[in-house]
Every structure is written in C-alpha cells, then in structure tokens.
Structure 1
Amino acid sequence: MNYKMRGRGEKDEFVFKDSSIGLIRLLCFLILFVIGIIIGLTSSSHVDRYFITSRPDNFYTDYTTAAPAPSYAKTATYDQNCSTNSNCKNDDCLSMESFRMPKNLTHRMTDNELFWRASMVPDKPEYPFDRVPKLAFMFMTRGPLPFLPLWERFFRGQDENKYSIYVHSNPGVRLDYENSSVFYQRQIPSQDVKWGTVTLVDAERRLLGNALLDFSNDRFILLSESCIPIYNFPTIYNYLIGSTHSFLDSYDDPSRYGRGRYSRRMKPDIKLRDWRKGSQWFEIHRTIGIKIISDTKYYNLFKSYCLPSCYPDEHYLPTFVHMFYGDLNANRTVTYVDWSLGGPHPATFGADDVTENLIRSIRNNGTNCAYNKGKTSICFLFARKFSPSALDPLLGLASSLLGF
C-alpha cells in the first residue's frame, strides 16, 4: 500500500483553513441573529403603535358602556373626583390629605366595597398628620331637614376640625343647601329605607361606612330629622370625646316586645340569653363602628330571621355590641325619647309643647347616669321627636337656654 506522505507545513495549512471556516460561520450566525433582533423590535413597535393609536378609545368606550351602573347611581349626580387622569392632573389623587379625609362624599362604591374600604385599620399607631378627634353627625332623614336653621346655629363659629356631617336621605331626594351651609355637599349615596325592616340597619351602616373614611372622625352620632341638640357644641364635644364608653342602648326585655321577637333559627350563634333590645339612636366610638361595618355573619342572621314584627333596628346593634363589646358600652343612649304614651311610636313635641321647662326637664330629670368611673347629671345630649312646628319656639330658646 502506498501512502502519500505530507510534510509538516501541509498539516498546518489544513488546520488554519478549518479554523478560518469555523470563525466565518460563527460571525455569519451572529450577524443573522442581530438582524433578527432588529427586525423583531421594529415589528413590535409597529404593532404597539397600531394598538395605541387605533384601539384604546374604542375598547374603553365599549367596556364602560357594557359595565352596569350601581343601583343608586341613577338617583344622584356624582362628581367624578379623582376618577379620571384629567382630574388627577389638577389634584393629587394619592395625597395624604385626600386619603385621610375624602373631599367629596359622592362615589360609586357598593355597600360591600364601602364597608371593605372603611374597615381598614392602620397598624402604625402614630398618625402622619396632626389629628384632631372629630364628632361625626350622621343624619338619617326621608327628606329635607326641618330643623336646619337650628343646627346651623349649633355649628356656627365652631372649629370645623372638630366635626363632620353626613346625610342619608331617600334616593332621588336632592338636598340643595347654599355653599355657605355646613350641610353643603354632605349628602351620601343612599338607598331605599322602609320602617321596621333591615333597610334601616343598612342605612345606619352606610352612614357609618362613609363617616369612617375620614380618619379623624372619632365618635359617631346617629340622628333623625326630628332630633335637636339640647346643649351647645362645646359641651357635647367634651362630653363625648372625654368618654371611655360608647352610648348604645342595650337591655334585656323579657316581654313579647323583647325576647318574644327572638327566633330560635339564630341558634347556635345567637342564643336567647344574648338577645338585647334598645333605641337605634346611638353614639359610638370608632373602634365599635369599624366592628359593626365589618360584621357579615350576625348581620346576615338578622337579615334572614329578624323579619317584620321583629324590628332589626331595635335588636341588631344592641345584641351584637352586647355579645362582643359590652365592656366598651355604657348600655344607655344620649338621645332622649318620650315613650310614656305607649304604642310603637314615641310622643311628638309640637310648638305648644316647647318651653323652657321642657328642655330643662329633659336635661335634668333628677337622675344621675354613669360616666367613666363616676356619675353625672348630664344623661342626654339630644332629644326627639319634634315636629317641624317646633322650630320657631326652639330658635327662641337657642341663645338664652341652649347656648347657641
């Protein structure tokens, strides 16, 4: 066999050629890879440009048109505060000021969304702002407030950092107040309320939820359109802010109007021994307010089993607070009501009934009430039920007796 011998130089030449070919192939691959990336990025930018310029307007319009509006959105006019980018250019929608105290009470939240938002409790104990505790005056009314002039005088000249106002009226009722009024734009989104049904509890919780959005609100007072203050603002403010207890009526009534309304279907979560009754006109601390709007379990039991002739507004809060937060409650109300006539409704005071003696008798009826660790002769701060005809006589007593 003949083998062709090659010299050392020939071998080196072949090795060099193989290396050159491999390097050229690698460079070609890299060039093609880079060109592919460039083409891909260019194509992507064209696709993005197409969607940005041609899709969002139509897409957003279709989406918002298809979305159902809340049930109460049809009955009120809403200011879309911080709901669009254009408004946020003029107002910092993520500012601490707008978060700790909403500037506008109109919103499109459902009750569940509202309660979830209002139930948030900061874990950090220090406030990042100068917090002055406020009284939240929550009015539940069917229509206009007949004692508006009296309440205007009550709030006149007082520190606006010490109080806030919320009004829940029937849907479709537009309460137009002058922009100089403390009630201006203080109406919250509302829903239908029927006497003797759980919708009264819904309205109470809705007022609480909206008031809790203001982190400075510390005490919450439920009032009706027939309620009046029987002391001036400084007296009421100091009394409530200084109290270590809430004032929610809660007692055991063994009659058919109390225990007789209990449903055994509430067992085992609510037992007969837990059942309580009380006036719906309460004053509570923020701690209890958050627990009330956060409750689902016990509210649903009342909604299902405390039906007409049970009156949920007289039993839900007295029972719920008694079961879990009794130590924080004084078990009495600070709103006077005259039940001496009997029947399902209290006595109504008209123009002829309003005298200085009436107000003094409500203020001091000869009894002392528990307050913190002692006793006080001031048991009531508000009173009801007054008819619209009582306005003029009350205004006549405001400066001389009521102190405002």
Structure 2
Amino acid sequence: MALSSPMVLSLLLFASLTALLVLAPRLSPPPPQQPAADEQAPPATGSGVGGGGGGGGGLRGVGSRAGGEEADDLRLFRRAALESAAAAAGAKAAGPPKVAFLFLTNSDLTFAPLWERFFSGHESRLSVYVHADPAARLLLPPTPSFRGRFVAAKPTRRADASLIAAARRLLAAALLDDPANAYFALLSQHCVPLHSFPRLYAALFPPPPSPSAASAAPRRQRPRSYIEVLTGEPQMPSRYAARGGEDAMLPEVPYERFRIGSQFFTLARRHAVLVVWERRLWRKFRVPCLPEMAQDSCYPEEHYFPTLLDMADPGGVARYTLTRVNWTGSVEGHPHTYTAAEVTPGLVAELRASNHTHPHMFARKFAPDCLAPLLAIADTVLFKD
C-alpha cells in the first residue's frame, strides 16, 4: 500500500534515473576512441582527403593486388581527370597557383616540424597531402599543416607497383581537393627542404616578362615537369627483362622507349592529370616482376612515370628531378642515409648543387636524428637564399 503512494513512486523513479545516469558510462559501449593529441590512427581506405583518411606508402607488403586496378581506384582516377578537364575548360581558380606537397610514407613524419617552418607564412600558396601505410600507427608532432591531410590509402611494398598506385592516389586527391594546385611534388618521410619556399615558388612560377621583353622573346612554353628521365643505364636490360621477360612489355613499351628515373618528382598539373587518367601502360607495369629477378631488378616505381611522360610529352619534361639523392655506397637498393653528424652547412651546399637550370630543392635520405641539427640551421642556412 505504502509502495503505491505517489510520493514513494516518485522517489523510486528519481533514484532509478540517478542510478542510470551514474552507471550508463560503465554499462554502455564506449564511444569511438580518438587518437591522442600527438597520435594519428591509420585511416581507413576510401577516396577522400580528411582527418580520418590515410593509408600506405613504403615497404610493407600485400599481395599483387596492392597495385591492382581496383574499382574504387578507377572511380577516383576517372573523377579526378574529368573534373580537372572541366575546371580547365571553365574559369581559372581563384587566388595564386599552389604547390601540392605529396608525402608518401610508411613511418612517422619525423621532419614535420622542419616542413612546418618551411611552410610558415606561405599557406595560401601550398597544400599538403599524406599517403600513410594503413598498417603503421603514426605518432605525429602537433604541426598544423599535416592535420587532417591524410588521403585514403592502401598498403604498399617496396619494389612493387603498389607504390605507383599510391602516388597516383595522392595526385588524384590533390587534383580533386583544390583546382589551384598547379604543381605536385612527391616526397617521402625522409625528405627535407634545401631552400626556402619563396625560392621554390619563384623557380616553379617565374614572373611574366615585361611587355617589351615579351614582344621580343619567343612564345613562353607551358610549365615543365621536373622528373628524371634516363636511358642507356647499365641496369636497363635487367630491369626491362624483370617485368616478365624480354617480350612482356610489348607492344606498349618496346625496350627503346623504356626509361628510368627517380621515384620522386615534381609534376605540372597537366601531367598529373595524364598520370591519373592513363591505363594502357599501367596494365603492363602493374604485373608483378619475375620472382627470380624481383629482389635485385624490380623497381617499377622508377620506370612507370619517366616512361609514360617521355612517351606522351618528351618536350614537356625537364628530364631531371628537384630532389637530390646520394646513391654512393647504396645498400640493397637504398640510397645513402645521412646521420646527424653529417648535417653541416657544407652538406647543404653540396646537396643544392645541380648541373641543370634549377638547383636541387629537396634532398633525401635523412635519418630521424637529423631533425635537431637541421632545425638548428634552418633559418641561417636552409632557408637563407
């Protein structure tokens, strides 16, 4: 009788609600955990750019489908090419042209603080994109330029066509993300800048000539891509045969059209569109190498891009890269890795030196312990032009 009184029932109801509120966090499934302030969880696969995107680029292996022609990649590439063509036919992008920095990584972005200093004050003229291996858990320094810039990605492995596919995803994401992106610099987590951003920007986008000089000068050429294109190298026959035998690349790529170059390049927008649209050569390069030659002669990422661009637009490429690599004393196909003790103003001057129109703007490969000495000379050497 007493339990049925309105006051008692109200008290019981109030007590039940209070207990529910207190115990709910313990009884309910926990909410999705966000990465810590200095940690970036490996993002899921997909086709967008954002804080939850991310995935592969480096040495980790999956099956031969890693570089395969999956439907989601095809949709991404087709959309990037078509929307870029539509944008080119319409109005020009508002604001100044931008340089898109494409980081291909399978480990921490150790040099993010150095890049942050390089980017500082020039954010309106650049974009950043990261393709990180989904199997890697990245502990990122709290630098704003890299936050939310992870593209949807897939696993990759060294000396495999999956590295080509990863670079194409970065290019496609950058093309779709901002029509102002006019140059696309592919870099690794081991790359560092050798000059200030204004020096790089002036090299890629030289000021137009004065009216009097323009009338006397020949017609200005379209922007060139800075990609290494070599032929006649001693390793070429074995590299070509490793693709599946001496006839495996025919008829699309005869031996005399096969090229070699650095994996890291800086492409003009029209060439970035070409890369994401192309499928004919990709069908050849995505085929795994012969197993007996895979360890020593299989580096498709060093052949696909220079071969494609040399066949499609030989006059539109500079035939050299802006990224310096030291192959002296290379071990198992890896270039020399600089350590902290080697970081000096003299090394920077040596790495900048070039026999081409532009000096080297970037360099690799640097060990993580180089960050502190590089930051120490950033303002007085690296970014002092």
TM-score by length of 1: 0.69
Q: Distance in 1 between matches of 2:141 and 2:270?
A: 34
Q: Does 1:165 align with 2:128?
A: yes
Shift of 1:241: 2.5
Q: Distance in 2 between matches of 1:133 and 1:104?
A: 24
Inter-CA distance 402–123: structure 2 relative to 1 (3 Å threshold): closer
Q: Does 1:113 align with 2:91?
A: no
Which residue in the other structure is 1:144 paired with? 108
SS of the aligned residue for 2:151 comes to coil
Residues 176 and 184 of structure 1 are in contact (CA less than 8 Å); yes or no, is this contact kept in structure 2?
no
Q: Does 1:216 align with 2:180?
A: yes
Q: Distance in 2 between matches of 1:295 and 1:331?
A: 20
Q: Distance in 2 between matches of 1:118 and 1:157?
A: 29
Q: How does 1:100-249 map to 2 (within 5 A)?
A: 106=53, 110-120=72-82, 121-122=85-86, 125-127=89-91, 130-158=94-122, 160-173=123-136, 175=138, 181-213=144-176, 214-242=178-206, 244-249=223-228
Q: Distance in 2 between matches of 1:128 and 1:368?
A: 35
> Higher relative CO (CA 8 A, sep ≥ 6), structure 1 or 2?
2
Which residue in the other structure is 1:322 paired with? 310
Unaligned runs of 5+ in 1: 1-73, 82-101, 371-377
| Residues 195-246 of structure 1 deviation map (CA, whole Å, 9 limit, x = unaligned) | 0111111111111111110211100000001100000111111112238311
Matching residue within 261, 264, 277 for 2:239: 261
Q: How does 1:273-312 map to 2 (within 5 A)?
A: 273-304=256-287, 306-307=289-290, 308=294, 309-312=297-300
Residues 54 and 134 of structure 2 are in contact (CA less than 8 Å); yes or no, is this contact kept in structure 1?
no
Residues 196 and 383 of structure 2 are in contact (CA less than 8 Å); yes or no, is this contact kept in structure 1?
yes
Q: Distance in 2 between matches of 1:254 and 1:149?
A: 38
Shift of 1:128: 6.1
Which residue in the other structure is 2:20 paired with? none
Which residue in the other structure is 1:375 paired with? none
Q: Distance in 1 between matches of 2:155 and 2:346?
A: 38
Inter-CA distance 368–261: structure 2 relative to 1 (3 Å threshold): closer
Q: Distance in 2 between matches of 1:266 and 1:247?
A: 25
Which residue in the other structure is 2:356 paired with? 369
Q: Does 1:76 align with 2:40?
A: no
Shift of 1:175: 4.5
Which residue in the other structure is 1:32 paired with? none
User: Identity over the aligned pairs, expressed in percent?
Assistant: 34
Matching residue within 344, 348, 354 for 1:355: 344
Q: Distance in 2 between matches of 1:368 and 1:79?
A: 41
Letter matched to residue 265 of structure 2: F
Answer with 1 or 2: which has the greater Rg.
Answer: 1
Shift of 1:177: 5.4
Unaligned runs of 5+ in 2: 1-40, 56-70, 207-221, 241-245
Inter-CA distance 313–77: structure 2 relative to 1 (3 Å threshold): closer
Q: Distance in 2 between matches of 1:275 and 1:240?
A: 27
Shift of 1:171: 0.6
Inter-CA distance 165–129: structure 2 relative to 1 (3 Å threshold): closer
Which residue in the other structure is 1:403 paired with? 383
Q: Distance in 2 between matches of 1:76 and 1:126?
A: 34
Inter-CA distance 325–333: structure 2 relative to 1 (3 Å threshold): same
Shift of 1:180: 6.2
Residues 116 and 145 of structure 2 are in contact (CA less than 8 Å); yes or no, is this contact kept in structure 1?
yes
Residues 275 and 315 of structure 1 are in contact (CA less than 8 Å); yes or no, is this contact kept in structure 2?
yes
Shift of 1:253: 3.0
Letter matched to residue 391 of structure 1: L
Q: Distance in 1 between matches of 2:257 and 2:165?
A: 22
Q: Distance in 2 between matches of 1:400 and 1:126?
A: 44
TM-score by length of 2: 0.72
Which residue in the other structure is 2:322 paired with? 334
Report the count of equivalent residues.
300
